[in-house]
A and B are shown apart, each in its own frame.
Chain A
Amino acid sequence: MEPRPRSFYVLAAFFCLFLLFLYGPTLTIGILSFQGPNGGLTFPMNGVSTHWFFNLFEQQAVGDIWGSFARSLVLGLMVMVTTVVVSVMGGLAFRKRFAGSNVVFYLIITALVIPSILISLGVGLIFSQLGLTVHWATSGFGAQLTWTLPFGLLIMFAVFNRFDKSYEEAARDQGATAWQTLRHVVIPIIAPSLIGVALFGFTLSYDEFARTLLTAGSYNTLPLEIYGMTTNVTSPVLYALGTLTTVFSLFIIAVFLLTARIATRRRSRAGSDAGKGMI
């Protein structure tokens, strides 16, 4: 292998600085959330304790952290399942190049670029003028889908653009129906990417703020709750909450990535029967 040029080391240093920039602040609040009971929002550390984490589990003066966490979790799962199903159907639809698909495509792009506060405002206005009450599971759910679906669909477009059609043709030649082809050939092949879509669906919903601002109703989701806390909580309990939700997010990401890895392995194993001695 040829020796690395000097530019490699410069760029590698730049990349490390970039990672420090990305993760440094989060690590800082991770450390500061272990402040002693008398510690403040910045360094120095005033002793080390888990005081602020226990504080989270006590009755809160303001807000309802655990209730909002439960709501965000349920909403995230609802959005995740819907995003996966609707994105796969949408992805399959776009393979057919149906008349009018351009209109739907530009709608997806619009959903991606529209300022999120407009969705919040518009959905909120519609609900109030129709005399409906906004609720995180109805208006909030719909508003979040306008953010997760474009990502799901972009992934599906990328997947189907690289999809080898001869697998489907082979299945059809052997007499599989359209549904059987989809169920036993297409879905297993695209399964790892579906886990990616699910990851986007869940995390984007779980962290969404602007689109739920006016559409969540009287019960807050977690990001709304945290945002409310920034204006009236000035103790490291904020960092403790931030650290816990970040750890939870990292855990979810790890679960999804591991599942995707396992799915990829299983696919490559199931995709070939070489060496099994069957003719």
Chain B
Amino acid sequence: MQRFLSRPTVSGWLLASPLTLVLTLFLVLPIVMIVIVSFWQATEFSIVPAFDFENYEFLFGSPVTYKVFLNTFKYAVITWACTLLIGFTVAYFLAFHVRSQTWQIALFLLCTIPFWTSNIIRMISWIPFLGRNGIANSALISAGVIDTPLDWLLYSDFAVILAFVHLYTLFMVVPIFNTMMRIDKSLIEAARDAGATGAQIMWNVIIPLSKPGIMIGTIFVVTLVMGDFITVRFMSGSQSANVGRLISNDIALLQYPSAAATAVVLLATVLIVIGLLLRFVDIRKEL
């Protein structure tokens, strides 16, 4: 018995059993359930088991679906570009320009603390800034840049992307900083000794070596933006839609089978994107 228990596979599975149990009950089964319900039918008051493709036919037959998916990708790509640019610059500053380790840790913590506070509050906090009579408009008017308040600051695609960048840049900073800290500084010295310019060092040494961090950050940002519904709803004032909002609207109308079908397509899309991204990075090696 003792020998049986000490086999790596047996003891490994025993130790992993609570984890596997939670993930089976609250991850695998819900996905299975969503796939099953996506073939069901909805009546006015309830959902009934069935097996037909009506939900999918409706989904793929509606021009709204394509528009909304396109919009979701638009948010993902723009947010990704902004967070990458800002996140890379911040991580680069922390890793290569801050010299003492104490300062590095302190500034890094300062960047990560907002991650542990509420996203909803952080979205609400943009209202006094972007509103019609908000700080941004008053500042622009008193500076003489504009005469009438800008209406597109709050409740617009601009506000949605601003909030995404505000919420998720952290997910770029942390992994990129992490990989940059592992870059051997002597490689940079070697490049400089061999006559490389600053731009060449950046392009041929630092960026290639930071790639794993960039990929992990990309995975985080893209999946968070693609799966979001609350930021888009709140920051666009219900004027824009992404796939997550399509699902949450169906849920609000108790159209669970239709919501499930959209959810299946969204999950498939996200997994395909992740599958493509994972070809560029071996996550298990990077931890």
Contact = CB atoms under 8 A, between A and B. Distances in A.
Interface of A is mostly: helix
Interface residues of A, number: 91
Contacts of A230: 120, 124, 234
Given A22-B166, A24-B129, A42-B127, A121 B116 contact: no
Interface of B: 8-9, 11-16, 18-20, 22-23, 25-31, 33-34, 37, 86, 89-90, 92-94, 97, 99, 107, 109-111, 113-114, 116-122, 124-129, 131, 133-135, 138, 166, 169, 198, 219, 223, 226-230, 234, 244, 247-248, 251, 256, 259-260, 263, 266-267, 270-271, 274, 283-284, 287
A152 B108 CA distance: 19
Interface of A: 1, 4, 7-8, 11-12, 14-15, 18-19, 21-26, 28-29, 32, 41-43, 85-87, 89-90, 92-94, 96-101, 104-105, 107-119, 121-123, 125-126, 129, 142-143, 145-146, 149, 153-154, 157-158, 161, 199-200, 203-204, 206-207, 209-210, 213-214, 223, 226-227, 230, 238-239, 242, 245-246, 249-250, 252-253, 257
Given A90-B19, A104-B20, A117 B122 contact: no
A147 B25 CA distance: 14
Contacts of B234: 230
A115 B244 contact: yes
Contacts of A125: 30, 33-34, 37, 256, 260
A119 B30 contact: yes
28 contacts: A15-B93, A22-B166, A28-B125, A28-B135, A41-B127, A41-B131, A42-B128, A42-B135, A43-B134, A86-B18, A90-B18, A96-B8, A110-B271, A114-B27, A115-B244, A117-B263, A121-B259, A121-B263, A122-B30, A158-B287, A204-B116, A207-B118, A209-B119, A213-B248, A223-B118, A245-B118, A245-B121, A250-B117
A73 B139 CA distance: 40
Nearest to A116: B227
Given A121-B34, A207-B117, 14 more contacts: A19-B111, A21-B166, A25-B122, A26-B117, A43-B128, A86-B19, A93-B11, A98-B11, A114-B27, A117-B244, A121-B30, A146-B26, A154-B287, A209-B119
B16 A42 contact: no
A99 B11 CA distance: 11
Nearest to B94: A15
A214 B251 contact: yes
Given A12-B97, A93-B15, A129-B33, A115 B266 contact: yes
A142 B25 CA distance: 8
B113 A250 contact: yes
Contacts of A206: 118
Contacts of A116: 227
Given A26-B125, A104-B16, A113-B219, A209 B247 contact: no
B270 A113 contact: yes
Nearest to B226: A115
